[in-house]
Structure 1
Amino acid sequence: MRVALFVPCYIDQFYPQVAVASLELLEKLGCEVVVPKDQTCCGQPMANSGFASSTGGCDANFTTNFDGFDYIVGPSGSCVLHLKEHHPSQKIRSSVYEICEFLTDILKVNSLTAKFPHRVGLHQSCHGQRFLRLSSMSERNEKPFSKLQDLLGLVQGIEVLLPKREDECCGFGGTFCVSEEAVSVKMGQDRIREHDVNAVEYIIGADTSCLMHMEGILRRQGSKVQVKHIVEILNYD
């Protein structure tokens, strides 16, 4: 299976270990992975700020880099969602997958060699839940499910704990954390407080933007709790 790895710009700049873990994990699972070297931003920041008409260059460059692959996989739900909903190419929109979605729905992973003997708190990002359907939502009368929990359940030694309000927003919200800084921080503090009650060592999620927001708050609090993208755990030996 030939897969193109989409590395969002903020992961490239701040969390390159997430991209490396994604590449290694996909290769372990039998994929032929290509990382297009000329890829850049998917255009989400401009579109979310009201400048969707200015994303043409990003769209064209993405098509040049990723057209022709069976699957396009990225470790960022918000960026993948933007491409699924707004990229002008139907082929691109139907080929792009968030990495947990890809592991469960396409590869149908049911075993891993990963070992991570730690207490972790699971954060399920809003867009992953409500748009990519990575997990169920409390506002719906539906049978609970979580693709992230299913994957973490394959990791040896791990103890996964959920916050009391399982699907509450961390407060990041892209440009919301800039335009509504005080509200954003308070939401993040509330989210972290519920993980602290569970005495977790790590907070795990599938979107580094949410984790980055909470990591900043944890550092300011002098907390020893660390954050990690889920692929870092699934790839851990």
Structure 2
Amino acid sequence: MRVALFATCVNDAVYPSTAVATVKVLERLGVTVDFPSAQTCCGQPQYNTGYRLETEPLVHRMARAFEGYDYVVAPSGSCVAMVRDNYPRIGTRARAEGRGDTLLQASDYLVPRTCELTEFLVDVLGVTDVGAYFPHRVTYHPSCHGLRVLGLNDRPRRLLQAVKGLELVELPGAEECCGFGGTFAVKNPDVSAAMGADKIRNSLSTGADVLCGADNSCLMHLGGMMRRQDTPQRALHLAEILASTEEEPLA
């Protein structure tokens, strides 16, 4: 089984520790992980802002970068949702406009191979206990893309529940959006900040040490607000919790 890591732009530029943690978890489970250096952006920022034609070269580039792999694994529900939900739309639109089938071919190749991390662990590898140790109280925020587009459902919670030492507490209003929404946060900053404040207030009410999520875009939004409020709680990606062990506990 040939597996490639799709690190994503946010992780590569801001949260490289999440990409490193993803590889640690997969290698601990016996998976050999490649990192194709040709990978760049999946095109989500461009597409969400209305630049559809500018997104098309990135679809081609993604297909070339991950050619030959059985699975492409990303610790980001939003980027995986971009590939699985929007790449077919882009390809279908290009065909309808008389620009051939190459984008549909790229989509057809990538869609069945691209997995969000928790999907790959639970559905492909068939594991929930990855050998992690994290002695903290944790609450989990499901991102909109993971919840509504990918249908991750209880996969992240099952993985967290299997972590030794971890106490998982339910987040009130968990299924409500955190307010980030990519360019939504830029176009509607006041609404975005208000939604983030609601999410943080609910998270703090749990008494958890850590607000966990599977999308660093959400965690960037919430974590930044937490730092400005100087809360006792921190935001941390699920992969970093799963990478933590008794031998190498994460700070």
Q: Which residue of 1 aligns with 2:27?
A: 27
**Contiguous gaps of at least 5 residues in structure 1:** 136-145
Structure-1 separation of matches of 2:174 and 2:128: 24
Q: Structure 2 residue aligned with 1:149, among 143, 157, 164?
A: 157
CA RMSD of aligned residues (A): 1.0
Structure 2 spans left out of the alignment, 5+ residues: 88-102, 246-251
Deviation of 1:178 after TM superposition, in Å, equals 0.5
The corresponding residue for 1:99 is: 117
- Residue of structure 2 in register with 1:227 after alignment: 235
The answer to whether 1:13 aligns with 2:16 is no
* Shift in Å, 1:173: 0.5
> How far off is 1:63 after superposition?
1.3
In the alignment, the residues of structure 1 paired with residue 172 and residue 39 of structure 2 have an alpha-carbon distance, to the nearest angstrom, of: 39
The size of the alignment, in residue pairs, is: 227
What is the distance in 1 between the residues matched to 2:128 and 2:50?
41
Residue of structure 2 in register with 1:138 after alignment: none
Q: CA deviation at 1:85?
A: 2.1
- Aligned residue runs from structure 1 range 84-233, under 5 A: 84-87=84-87, 88=103, 89=106, 90-135=108-153, 146-233=154-241
Partner AA of 2:70 in structure 1:
D
User: 5 Å matches for 1:72-87?
Assistant: 72-87=72-87
Deviations 1:53-94 (A, max 9, x none): 111221121111101100000011111111112333201111
Aligned to 1:45: 45
Give me the whole-angstrom Cα distance separating, in 2, the residues matched to 1:192 and 1:179. Answer: 21
Residue identity matched to 1:160: L
Question: TM (normalized to structure 2)?
Answer: 0.88
CA distance in 1, matches of 2:158, 2:123: 12
- 1:110 CA drift (Å): 3.5
Gap change, CA 1:218 and 1:110, over 3 Å in 2? closer
**Does 42-51 or 103-112 show the bigger shift?**
103-112
Q: What letter corresponds to residue 217 of structure 2 in structure 1?
A: S
Distance 1:111 1:207 in 2: 20
